Structure 1
């Protein structure tokens, strides 16, 4: 069975999530959230981290009720996403785009890196 890595970002929901729908069409889905500490992002404040903790807990519970487990990491997605794809045996990686300054270019670099290793990428 083929596996898709689904990179949750700000869209911490299972309903109306285009990246999730595309990943499910591939086969098994491995969901991941990375607390982005790459050079292209601004660190989050206390209120944002409080909200994120609650939202990730709810998402993890939703996934667990469906027989899945959310993988949590922190660091630079340019390094972590390829590592996670290799660890999980994923054949594709999916995510919903963000439009913050610098992130489109970073995501373009990530997509090129993944494609160079033979992985397909789905971005919405």
Structure 2
């Protein structure tokens, strides 16, 4: 799958279709994250984030999802403060864009609680 996504990404770079490039970058980020190629995953998620911001604006669910994905990689790399910062921004955006009762809000809260637990702040995590 990775090779096919890379091929599509190269073709879309030539064609100049940024939303497809953003979506393919996200999929590659997911593949790399699953393979524990964390630097590659981070690069792809950051690329997707830049493209989503540029073509969707700063306040869009795709931007929030990309921020959450960056947070996931930061957490796996042990960069907990950086992870929580991304999750907090994603949480804020999701609440504004889809409402506090949406499953995306629950997912990012779960991720934030996981980081707090990783930091030894279990009481704060339980309060979420």
TM normalised by structure 2 equals 0.29
More strand by percentage: 1
Greater length-normalized contact order (CA 8 Å, ≥ 6 residues apart) = 1
Q: Whose radius of gyration is greater, 1 or 2?
A: 2
More helix by percentage: 2
